[in-house]
Structures are given as C-alpha cells and as structure tokens.
Amino acid sequence: MKQKIIIGNWKNYLGNKESISLANSLLDLVTTDKTRVMVSPNHLYLKEVNQILSTTDIEVISQNLTSAESKSDTGGITAVNLKEISINRSLVAHSETRIREKTPQSILLEIIPMGFPFVLCFEEIDQIPFDILNDNLEIILAYEPVWAIGTGKTASIDHINEIHSGVKSKLSKLGLNIPILYGGSVNPSNCKEILDSDNVDGVLVGGASTKYDQFQEIVNSI
C-alpha cells in the first residue's frame, strides 16, 4: 500500500507554549509504514519544534516561503533561511497566503532550480504550473477549495475524486507521478472516507491538527 501523507498545518492557532506542548505530545504519536506525517508550526517556533521531533519520523515543514534566497525581502522567509535551521520543505501558495504573496509560479521558478521540496496548494486546476513541474524534486500537491478552509464545510467525496482524478490525468500525460492531498475542514469524522479514496494520497489538516487526540485519530484512521 502506498503511504498516505498527513500534514498538520498549525497556522497561528498556537502560541509558543502551546506549540512546544503539542510537539512534546507528538513524541507519543504512533506512526506506521502506511503513513507519512508532517507538521507545520508558526515560523517563530519552527526550530524548537523541529528539535523536539528530531528523534521521530515526523517531518517539520514551513507554512510558507516568499523567495529562494533574496536578501532584500523584508519580512520574507527564504528557502536558504529554512535550510539553515534544518527545515527542508514548505507549503507554497496556501489559500491564506496567495492574496498577499508573489504568484506561485514565480516562487517555484526560484526554488525548483535549488532543489527545495514543496507542497503546492491550489484551488483551481489551472493554478498548477504543469509546465515547470518535474520528477527531480519530491513535489506534493494539495487541493484546497477556499470555501472549505476553516468553515467546517467539506467537499463531497465525489467532488474530491473529480478534481483529483483530473489532475492525475494531466500529470500522467506528462509522465509525472506526484501525490495529491485534500485540504478543507478535515477532521476525525470525515478523514477515513477521504483517505480511503484511491485518488487521494493524503490530507492537509488545519484546526484538528492542533489537538493531539484529533490528530492522532486522523493518523490512525488509515
């Protein structure tokens, strides 16, 4: 069975103490070869959370990056910065950052040549820059309908399958095998149906990932 990818995006739900507490709780999280687990804390806490989880199989990733290595990017987060603290993957173009950052394609054109892995979020298929994707990087795609982000509304499994199968078809024609996750109000009550779909390679979890018991239930649902 191919591994399902579970990403917990903590957004800004947790402060420093809460992030450290949750990271310590995750030391008890039991993972299997069926799952690959990642968590994405606030940038201020990346280094400390990463140090706590360094003895586990849980990968700590960034919530965003704004450029590859720009030195004039005030307030930005670069791939070079992240590598310096042993963070080797980032979400890119999450719906909550798309409105204030560079276009996803411009960011990817910077980080793909330097070999920095990423999770590219999209709402519409035409937001995926298929022409610059390749199998030389460990790329992950995440479909997140903006109306389902933090609203408690989840896309139907038929809709998820339609979008994911459409993307997989385009990738297949290009000879690419890139996993596609679903994100949008994923929680313990709906995760199993979503993860049971052959078209879904994992989930991007928001609020539920900040509660240990709920995140554990999602991870153990596979």
Bridge partner residues of 5 (DSSP): 36, 202
For the structural domain made of 4-219, what CATH number should be given? 3.20.20.70
Task: Give the DSSP H or E segment for 194.
Answer: helix 191-195
Tell me the per-residue pLDDT of 109-123, one tens digit each, with 9 for 90 and over: 888 888 899 999 999
On whether the CB atoms of residues 13 and 39 are closer than 8 A, the answer is no
Any idea which residue has 């408690």 for tokens? 152
**If pLDDT is split at 50, 70 and 90, which confidence band does 89 have?**
very high
**Domain ranges within the chain, ordered by starting residue:** 4-219
Catalytic residue positions?
94, 144
Average pLDDT of the residues in 128-150? 87
**If pLDDT is split at 50, 70 and 90, which confidence band does 98 have?**
low
Distance of CA 218 to the CA centre of its chain: 15
pLDDT exceeds 90 at position 94:
no
d(CA 130, CA 126): 9
pLDDT exceeds 60 at position 20:
yes
d(CA 85, CA 65): 14
Residues 6+ apart with CB under 8 A from 14: 22, 41, 42, 45, 210
